[in-house]
Amino acid sequence: MHTDRERCVRAVQSKDERFDGWFFTAVLTTGIYCRPSCPVVPPKPENMVFHPSAAACQQAGFRACKRCRPDASPGSPAWNARADSVARAMRLIQDGVVDREGVAGLAGRLGYSARQIERQLRAELGAGPLALARAQRAQTARLLIETTGLPMAETAFASGFASVRSFNDTVQQVFALSPTELRERAARAGARRGHGERTPVPGVTALRLPFRSPLTPDNLFGHLVATGVPGVEEWRDGAYRRTLTLPYGHGTVSLAPRPGHVACRLSLTDPRDLTVAISACRRLLDLDADPVAVDGELAADPELAPLVDKAPGRRVPRTVDAAEFAVRAVLGQQVSTAAARTHASRLVTAHGLPVDDPDGGLTHLFPTPEALAGLDPETLAFPRSRRRTLTGLVRALASGDLRLGPGSDWDEARARLSALPGLGPWSVESIAMRALGDPDAFLPTDLGVRKAAAHLGLPATPAALTARASAWRPWRAYATQYLWATGDHPINRLPA
């Protein structure tokens, strides 16, 4: 979009929040870059230049605006709606792969050479993988500086920087403030808002997760809570809470819907996991979606239009761990929601790693495929055919023959899942929708979808319904949320 100058200028002049994250505005006269909705007086059009990413702005020598904080804008929805190499690379960079494995590791996961990935990212985003990862490290550093009491040296390494010097130089360049000045400025701002002196809780990071409005939280949080695994997930004090398995350790997160943002509290055993944890939470709640574009397409269908008008901005409840959801999808085959939770709870109690949660009732991490690889199928209290399905899936995940995650190729993952015994279209599409994040995944055989189709007068057979749903592409996963919402089920209600 950044190449459409006239459209970008109009968005900036109208301070349109819907375009935050789609492009960034750099101002030639001030050397500052902003999000389109920046509250300051818009610059003259001749002084604006537009970039596709914060990293491209930084590479061009611009520093972040202190008013609108463009580095904290919602991510581009393009990366969640596409499955090409650039989108997969961006999802992996957001997941911290470059910081942990370098550009070579990123390229290896995508099946390309490092040079090809560099060229593709520069062509579309104006910056290579190192610059994009650096911009993300800067944002993580700012969060840690402003919301925790970590010493600056610990903050530097927790943000992914290799040295304190590079940390200081990057923060100064991006924010035009030293790390100490950034922390002092945040403390003064908190005092002006009546928060008094900040008293950071050790190991806890509190932040706001922005999103594009509108957002209907009912089905989003309702689905996560209604299908939640006891000990791994819970609803407490108006927030969804769960445990997280992370690259350097583990943690717990609390997520609560608020006007204009989702309140997030992260408790991590290792602060280096902050970037990955934030990315996982945004992915879980589908916060980088563009609801205006999605709802505009779905509302063009006369059968869906009343549902969209009634509660616009529905998101697809996803997952923090693709392998975990794949296992849970098998446990939920042909059983009720309550039975699926019971099966998952038994698996967690037997094979999950215990954790301490002084703030609630979280007791375990969901077991990894490696932890489940040696389970005895005879101990599983469900049919023999599903035991074979579960053990086959776990072996494929543990061995690396099946890789599910932010960088997965959706078509390849579907093919590998379909090749496993016992994984039919419902399971494969459920995993594609919630674990892989494919916005066009569709479940024509799902009981809730079929009931909704009958209620709305849509075709009853899966083949006919799939043909009818072609008008909803590429947003059939979102259409599914609106169809499910026609039923009276706890997944559609925000818990009390």
pLDDT at 408 over 70: yes
pLDDT at 247 over 60: yes
Over the stretch 291-333, which tens digit does the pLDDT of each residue have?
Answer: 999 999 999 999 999 999 999 999 999 999 999 999 999 999 8
Alpha-carbon separation of residue 17 from 3, 212, 479 (angstroms) = 19, 7, 24
Under the banding of pLDDT at 50, 70 and 90, the label for residue 74 is confident
What pLDDT score does 256 carry? Answer: 97
Under the banding of pLDDT at 50, 70 and 90, the label for residue 18 is confident
What pLDDT score does 22 carry? Answer: 87
Query: How far is the C-alpha of 375 from the C-alpha of 319, rounded, in Å?
Result: 24
- Same domain? 128 vs 23: no
Over the stretch 457-476, which tens digit does the pLDDT of each residue have?
Answer: 999 899 999 999 999 999 99
Residue 60, domain CATH: 3.40.10.10
pLDDT at 148 over 90: no
Helix (H) or strand (E) holding 129: helix 129-147
pLDDT at 430 over 90: yes
What pLDDT score does 150 carry? Answer: 85
The number of folded domains in the chain is 3
Residues 6+ apart with CB under 8 A from 156: 141, 163, 164, 166, 167, 168
- Same domain? 18 vs 35: yes
Q: Tell me whether residue 165 is exposed, middle or buried, using C-beta atoms within 10 angstroms of its C-beta: 0 to 12, 13 to 18, 19 or more.
A: exposed
Mean pLDDT for the chain overall: 91
233-236 and 239-245: which strand pairing? Answer: antiparallel
| Greater model confidence, 460 or 168 | 168
Both structure tokens of 413: 């993952």
Segment 345-351 mean pLDDT: 94
Query: How far is the C-alpha of 267 from the C-alpha of 242, rounded, in Å?
Result: 11
Catalytic residue list contains 290: no
Percent of the chain clearing pLDDT 70 (strictly above): 98
What pLDDT score does 203 carry? Answer: 72
pLDDT at 431 over 60: yes
Query: How far is the C-alpha of 264 from the C-alpha of 242, rounded, in Å?
Result: 12
User: Which amino acid type is present at position 373?
Assistant: A
Under the banding of pLDDT at 50, 70 and 90, the label for residue 64 is very high
| Residues β-bridged to residue 250 | 245
pLDDT at 47 over 50: yes
Spot the catalytic one: 8, 34, 57, 281.
Answer: 34
Last residue of a domain, one of 71, 102, 127: 71
Q: Is residue 495 part of a domain?
A: no
What pLDDT score does 374 carry? Answer: 83
- Same domain? 337 vs 392: yes
- Same domain? 103 vs 66: no
Query: How far is the C-alpha of 23 from the C-alpha of 160, rounded, in Å?
Result: 25
Cβ distance 137 to 159 under 8 Å?
yes
- Same domain? 36 vs 130: no
- Same domain? 131 vs 153: yes
Residue 365, domain CATH: 1.10.340.30
Over the stretch 357-383, which tens digit does the pLDDT of each residue have?
Answer: 988 999 999 999 999 988 888 888 888
Catalytic residue list contains 34: yes
Q: Is residue 57 part of a domain?
A: yes
Spot the catalytic one: 99, 290, 438, 446.
Answer: 446
- Same domain? 66 vs 103: no
Q: What is the pTM of this model?
A: 0.89
- Same domain? 139 vs 40: no
Residue 39: which domain range? 5-71
